[in-house]
Amino acid sequence: MTNAPPRLGNTRLVAVDGPSGAGKSTFARRLAEELDATRVLTDHFATWDDPAIGWWPQVEAIFEEVARGRTAHYRKTDWSQGFPRPNQGALVEVRPERTIIFEGMSSARKANAHRLSLAVFVDHGDEEQRLERAVARDGEKYREHFIRWQQYERGWFAVDETRARADYVITSS
C-alpha cells in the first residue's frame, strides 16, 4: 500500500468494493484504522432506488476538490426514518489527506479507476449467506430491498468487471 502512488492530488484513494454482506465495512474500518485514513462510503449517497448512478457526479465533485488540495463537504443520505432521504443527513468533511478509503458497492468502478491508488474487492461467494448477514445487520424489514440490491449488484459487477480489475481480491468467511 505504501508504494501505491497518489492519484488524487497528493492523496491515495483506496476503493474497497464488493457485494452487500461480504464484509467490506469490517475490512475497510480495519484498514482505515491501520492507515489513519478517512472513510467515505457509497452508502452515504446510495438509495434503494439508486444504488450507483445518479449520485456519482456528487462523488466526482468531492474527489476533484480533494485532488486540488481543498477540503470537500457533503451531506449523507439520512436513513433515520427507515427510508432514504438523500443529502439530508449529517455533514461530512473530506480533507486532502495521505489516504482516503472509499468503501462500498461501485467504489472501484471503471469510471473511478484513474483516481485509485488501489482497488480491493471483498467477496463472499454464497449469496444467501450474504443476504442473511445484511438482514441480520440492518433488519428483516429490509429483506426485499436487499434481494433487489443483490440482483442489481450481479448485473453491475458483470458489466463493470470490478472483481477482475481489482488489485486484490479478499474472500471473507
The CA-to-CA distance between both ends of the chain, in Å, stands at 23
Span 133-162, mean pLDDT? 94
More confident site: 87 or 169? 169
Residue-level pLDDT at 91: 95
3-state secondary structure of 147: helix
Q: Are 156 and 105 in contact (CB under 8 A)?
A: yes
User: Which pLDDT tens digit goes with each residue over 57-83?
Assistant: 999 999 999 999 999 999 999 877 777
Range with the poorest average pLDDT among 98-102, 122-126, 147-151: 122-126
Q: How confident is the model at residue 3 (pLDDT cuts 50, 70, 90)?
A: confident
Q: How far apart are CA 73 and CA 60, in angstroms?
A: 12
| Coil, strand or helix at 54 | coil
| Mean pLDDT computed over every residue of the chain | 94
Residues 6+ apart with CB under 8 A from 161: 110
Domain boundaries, the chain: 12-171
pLDDT at 1: 55
In this structure, what C-alpha cell is assigned to residue 162? 470490478
Grid cell of 81 as nine digits: 426514518
For the chain, give the percent of residues with pLDDT over 90.
84
CATH class of 12-171: alpha beta
Which pLDDT score, from 0 to 100, does residue 172 have? 80
